[in-house]
């Protein structure tokens, strides 16, 4: 009886590796062939592009300067008798600030007045003598020489009186210098000399400083490339300037551009500009560093979106548009940065839905689960 024998083919190691590679390749092909809509939707935050008026601000670092600053000094020598104001006080023009001992200068004035009175008496006597000599000369009882001498004496005494008037005026001026008053409205600084000290007109330190802070100025710089636009805007009207603190960025004051400097700094390529501020709330202080914002113009009805919605790629700027079927499409755009928002000049129109957050996992055709972003004020404001 013949037995039937069954043979089983056991693959070798080479055959097993080949079959595994084929299986792995088939799995990858199947995965790639799976449609994108089968993948789970990626959560993103979205926002719609809008049309709005956008102010164009030019930002520069500046420093607050008093409109006027005076170092009050003594103009005559003497003892500082009284300091009539308090440090930090706001004073008006003409307010008495300090008193230098006036007694020596009052005595000099009295002496000048007495000298004038003496010369006036001599002039009266000289004129009477001239009248007598002139009368006698007509009758040949006095010589012509005596008359001429008396005329010269009258003229000499008259000239002496003019000198007396000048001496009196100088004495009055020096006496007035003993009473120092404010040259303009301003704030008193820290006192540098205490009453009882001897002060001189040549003292370099002075007595006290006074600064005019209502109004006040801010001196700031901008690149020279901005100057033509600034000059053109100045021809249209006044240009608003906002001042913010340089550290916390808090708004401080609103003012107006006064003028740019008459020359560009050749070493830095920057132009200096000066703005004035009413400063009624005293938030600006001389010597304070601030950030100045100059309103150049306002772009009307432009397409805008938040800055973080715009991505930077090798080919330029782009955003992810959300299509009606909840897929996204990469959209190249041209935009100008305006701080918290971007002004889109090409590539988008108002009302289009774009991805605001969650762009890192996106590609063309990816399904997304869109959540609208919370509404925020995106227009850059003055000083904000």
Nearest alpha-carbon partner for 50 in 356, 360, 264, 362: 356
Nearest alpha-carbon partner for 215 in 109, 64, 80: 64
Question: What per-residue string of b and e applies to 239-274 under the rule 16 or more CB within 10 Å gives b?
Answer: bbbbbbeeeeeeebbebebbebeeeeeeeeebbbbb
For tokens 């007509």, the residue is 138
Measured CA to CA, the distance from residue 252 to residue 279 in angstroms comes to: 9
Q: Write out the chain's pLDDT in tens, 384 residues.
A: 344 444 444 444 444 454 555 455 554 444 444 444 456 889 999 999 999 999 999 999 999 999 999 999 999 999 999 999 999 999 999 999 999 999 999 999 999 999 999 999 998 888 887 887 677 777 776 677 877 788 898 899 899 999 999 999 999 999 999 999 999 999 999 999 999 999 999 999 999 999 999 999 999 999 999 999 999 999 999 999 999 998 878 999 999 999 999 999 999 999 999 999 999 999 999 999 999 999 999 999 999 999 999 999 998 999 999 999 999 999 999 999 887 889 999 999 999 999 999 988 888 999 999 889 887 645 555 544
Nearest alpha-carbon partner for 48 in 331, 306, 251: 306
Q: 3-state DSSP call for residue 221? A: strand
* CATH, domain range 70-195: 1.10.287.470
Long-range contacts, stretch 373-381, CB < 8 angstroms, 24+ apart: 373/45, 373/46, 373/47, 373/306, 376/306, 378/52, 378/304, 378/306, 378/340, 378/341, 379/52, 379/53, 379/54, 379/55, 379/304, 379/341, 380/54, 380/55, 380/57, 380/338, 380/339, 380/340, 380/341, 381/55
CB 244 within 8 A of CB 226: no
Q: Output the pTM of the full model.
A: 0.71
Question: Residue ranges per domain, the chain?
Answer: 40-53+301-372, 58-67+213-299, 70-195
Q: How many CA atoms lie within 13 A of 40 on its CB side?
A: 3
Measured CA to CA, the distance from residue 241 to residue 257 in angstroms comes to: 6
CB 65 within 8 A of CB 219: yes
58-67+213-299 and 40-53+301-372 share a CATH fold: no
58-67+213-299, which class in CATH?
mainly beta
* CATH, domain range 40-53+301-372: 2.40.420.20
- Radius of gyration in angstroms for the set of CA atoms belonging to the chain, rounded to a whole number: 45
């Amino acid at each position: 009886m013949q037995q039937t024998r069954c043979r089983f083919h056991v693959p070798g190691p080479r055959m097993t590796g080949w079959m595994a590679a084929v299986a792995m390749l088939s799995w990858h092909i199947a995965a790639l062939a799976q449609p994108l809509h089968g993948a789970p939707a990626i959560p993103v935050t979205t926002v719609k592009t809008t049309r709005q008026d956008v102010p164009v601000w030019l930002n520069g670092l500046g420093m607050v300067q008093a409109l006027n600053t005076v170092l009050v000094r003594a103009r005559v020598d003497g003892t500082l008798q009284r300091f009539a104001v308090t440090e930090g006080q706001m004073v008006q023009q003409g307010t008495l600030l300090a008193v230098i001992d006036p007694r020596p200068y009052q005595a000099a004035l009295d002496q000048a007045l007495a000298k004038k009175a003496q010369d006036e008496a001599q002039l009266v006597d000289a004129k009477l003598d001239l009248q007598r000599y002139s009368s006698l000369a007509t009758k040949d009882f006095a010589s012509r020489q005596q008359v001429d001498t008396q005329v010269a004496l009258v003229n000499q005494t008259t000239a002496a009186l003019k000198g007396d008037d000048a001496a009196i005026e100088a004495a009055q001026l020096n006496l007035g210098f003993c009473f120092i008053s404010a040259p303009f409205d301003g704030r008193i600084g820290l006192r540098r000399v205490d009453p009882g000290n001897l002060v001189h007109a040549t003292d370099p330190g002075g007595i006290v400083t006074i600064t005019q802070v209502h109004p006040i100025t801010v001196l700031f710089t901008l690149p020279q490339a901005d100057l033509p636009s600034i000059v053109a805007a100045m021809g249209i009207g006044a240009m608003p300037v906002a001042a913010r603190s340089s550290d916390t960025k808090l708004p401080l004051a609103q003012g107006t551009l006064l003028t740019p400097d008459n020359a560009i700094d050749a070493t830095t390529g920057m132009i200096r500009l000066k703005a004035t501020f009413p400063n009624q709330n005293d938030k600006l202080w001389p010597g304070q560093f601030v950030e100045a914002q100059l309103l150049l113009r306002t772009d009307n009805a432009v397409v805008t979106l938040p800055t973080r919605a715009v991505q930077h790629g090798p080919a330029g700027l782009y955003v992810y548009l959300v299509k009606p079927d909840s897929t996204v499409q990469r959209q190249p755009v041209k935009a100008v940065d305006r701080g918290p928002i971007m002004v889109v000049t090409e590539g988008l129109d108002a009302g289009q839905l774009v991805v605001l957050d969650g762009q890192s996992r996106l590609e063309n055709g990816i399904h997304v689960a869109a959540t609208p972003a919370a509404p925020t004020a995106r227009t850059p404001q003055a000083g904000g």
